[in-house]
Structure 1
Amino acid sequence: MAEERAFWLAWSQINGIGPILLRRLQQQFGTLAAAWSADRTSLLAVEGMGLQVVDKVVKERSRIHPETFLQQHQQQNPSFWTPNQTDIYPRLLLETASPPPVLYYRGKVDIQENLGFTPSIGIVGTRHPSEYGKRWTRKISTALAKNGFTVVSGMAEGIDTEAHHACLEAGGRTIAVLGTGVDVVYPPRNRELYQQILQQGLVISEYPAKTPPDRPHFPQRNRIIAGMSRAVIVMEAPVKSGALITARFANDFCRDVYVLPGSLDNERSQGCLALINNGAGVILGVEHLLEMLGAMPQLDATPSSQQLELLPSPDLAPELQQVWNAIALESMPFDAIVQQTNMSAGAVSSALLQLELTGLVMQLPGMRYQKA
């Protein structure tokens, strides 16, 4: 029997099967290996698997031998993670509804970072920033690097490039999320930056080696930037900007969004002002930002059994007990609690409110919850 990640890789080759459907298949069958051998009737029972999709699955999987394909694929793609590798796959990405089924990487892996113990902050913005936008991007990236944060961005021209450079110059660690294969440098002028990131950080992508730039890839990679980050900072962005897509993903993933305020006269700030109008946090200076980020809960290592004994074991109604049991000692985002309980979002929200009122649970910034 081939290893489970061979099936994550094999399923990812079938057109029409994206990250969300893969999660549903895993939940329905327990493993993607079991899903691979499931018959048509069983596949049709999975939400979102219509007749056309199932026909395509049955046809295409007959052409793929997962273990053989894994061995062939690794010749050009030696380094990648799949979501079943929960001990090394980036933990924050696993909390989202659409973690990449295959996540390729190059550079220096930091397991503490993958497990979420090192906080990562996304920085995004326009490819054509003003001097004001560049200056503040460098200030903020430098401060984050010096305070132990990992800076996540997309290695695009403009704000992304400024963020990566400033972080590296400050001796910090940075992650570049690409819309190409991890071996393809885009834009080409960032070749030297790319090499520096490999020495001091990580380059990741959901696209295999040699994948060239393609316009639809970049909005998709923005969800990975948001998913890899504890919070996302939008430095400067016009109304139609990929940075706003990243901010929307951040909101969907219950991440905090912070914005550098700009002038009404500056078209490149219009998207940022719109985000502020919709409730994003306003950055009033480097110290102010660090204070806001300092309020974010840090993930701790697994608590000792002695710590666990200190927690009360309350006598609760079944729904409240189910939600209480799902919450770990470290903070958890709302969507992860919904997934853990398999209850509706409305039922979980109601239960959390009741648990808060009784003092058993507390809400933290970014719609995260932990036992009180």
Structure 2
Amino acid sequence: MVKELFPEPDADAPDPERDLIDVLRLNLVPGLGPRTYQLLLERFGSPRGILEASVSQLQSVRNVGPRLAMSLVTHGTEAAAVQELERARSAGVSLHIRDTPTYPAGLCRIPDPPTLIYCKGTLVEADALAIGVVGSRHCTSYGRQQTNRLAQALARVGITVVSGLARGIDAEAHKGALEAGGRTIAVCATGLNTIYPPEHRELSEAITRQGCLITESPMDQTPKSGLFPQRNRIISGMSLGVVLIEAGRSSGALHTARHAMEQNRDVFAMPGRVDSEASLGCLDLIRDGATLIRDVDDVLNALGPLVAPVKRTPTETVRKPAELTLSDQERLILNLMSAESTPVDEVIRAANIEASRVLSTITVLEMKRLVRRLPGGFVVRS
């Protein structure tokens, strides 16, 4: 009877805490990048399988040499992982493993997603509607003004602004979103116990109240030059597209644009003065095919349908970013339709407003290519 009431634990049952410790152990191994981790995962099946492999077995995997194989065996001990987890939790940081429900869906669709992300603040489903805004650390007053204006406009329509917490354009993008009362995500190169640059500590605290800080680096990771280009792939990976505002030809922001192209994300550039060194990188991008943008409407109208619909509220589902510019009435009518054909009479009844207003709104939505009329008095959401 006792065994029936209190059965023995199933050794094969999933153990999220155990899985998290195993992933943390691997994340603490120096030199183990996301692409090599993926190769190891394909070979050994699970983080636990990697940790239990011998040095010779590890070396049979492409990209794993003797030094990395020894690091996998000697670094990232269980004790170190437990300490790291305690540090994170005491700092109010949550951890999200790739391919779990709380991990950002956009990052799963890039070639080299982080194995694990640390998050301080909140990640919500609507953060799938995100635009990266990046540029030079040494920006002009024009760059600051345009960045703040665009970030505020993006935030007001419900777009999450993603940037890198750096000086200059990045900081202005975060500030603009915060000033508009919107959400913003700062992707950090350092660990979350080390805010960089240090003068942005107050800004980082404000971001955690209206979004979050995220990183793939361990809690106590200090600034290293190689980490900044690496984190740029996360900025673009979390975004539907990336806007560059004032990037010189040697600007690190151009790395973000290249990552966006590799990840099949849209690349936008705001033009500046043709004789300004600060704008030459953006002008080059426009010449080479990036979309020239002036305002939020240019950005949203250029974005295509989402990979998967995003539920912003219990009653509102977004399938195309251009829907965010709709009026309240247009949004109400649109959300009464689906990808299946719906009788117009049913839309009129559900809207509970005058039939003439519903019909005129459907016409407007049709002109915006968000709905289609079908024969027999039916409509369908495009």
Bin for the TM-score computed over the shorter chain:
0.7 to 0.9
- Report the secondary structure of 1:77's partner residue: helix
* CA distance in 2: counterparts of 1:56 and 1:73, whole angstroms: 18
Identity %: 38
Match in the other structure for 2:276: 266
Query: Which residue of 308, 314, 319 maps to 1:299?
Result: 308
Give 5+ residue unaligned stretches, structure 1. Answer: 303-329, 331-371
Match in the other structure for 1:11: 26
- Report the secondary structure of 1:156's partner residue: coil
Query: Which residue of 122, 144, 147 maps to 2:157?
Result: 147
Match in the other structure for 1:75: 86
- Which structure 2 residues correspond to residues 231-310 of structure 1 after superposition, within 5 A? 231-293=241-303, 295-297=304-306, 299-300=308-309
Contact in 1 for aligned 2:99/2:108 (Cα 8 Å)? no
- Report the secondary structure of 2:32's partner residue: coil
- Report the secondary structure of 1:157's partner residue: coil
Match in the other structure for 1:25: 40
- The residue type paired with residue 256 of structure 1 is D
Task: Give the structure-1-normalised TM-score.
Answer: 0.73
CA offset digits 1:152-190 (Å, max 9, x no partner): 001111111111111111110000111222233322332
Query: Which residue of 148, 153, 157 maps to 1:138?
Result: 148
Q: Are 2:111 and 1:100 aligned? A: no
Match in the other structure for 1:219: 229
Q: 1:40 to 1:75 in 2, by over 3 A?
A: closer
Q: 1:188 to 1:44 in 2, by over 3 A?
A: closer
Q: CA deviation at 1:43?
A: 2.5
Q: Are 2:205 and 1:195 aligned? A: yes
Contact in 1 for aligned 2:98/2:115 (Cα 8 Å)? no
Q: 1:109 to 1:138 in 2, by over 3 A?
A: same
Contact in 2 for aligned 1:260/1:282 (Cα 8 Å)? yes
- Report the secondary structure of 1:270's partner residue: helix
Query: Which residue of 49, 54, 58 maps to 1:39?
Result: 54
Match in the other structure for 2:379: none
Q: CA deviation at 1:69?
A: 3.4
- Report the secondary structure of 1:105's partner residue: strand
Q: 1:47 to 1:175 in 2, by over 3 A?
A: same
Contact in 1 for aligned 2:96/2:102 (Cα 8 Å)? no
Give 5+ residue unaligned stretches, structure 2. Answer: 1-10, 12-16, 312-338, 340-381
Q: CA deviation at 1:253?
A: 1.1
* CA distance in 1: counterparts of 2:118 and 2:40, whole angstroms: 22
Contact in 2 for aligned 1:9/1:101 (Cα 8 Å)? no
Q: CA deviation at 1:241?
A: 0.5
Q: 1:238 to 1:207 in 2, by over 3 A?
A: same
CA offset digits 1:85-114 (Å, max 9, x no partner): 52111111122222222311211232x146
Contact in 2 for aligned 1:80/1:102 (Cα 8 Å)? no
* CA distance in 2: counterparts of 1:53 and 1:190, whole angstroms: 35
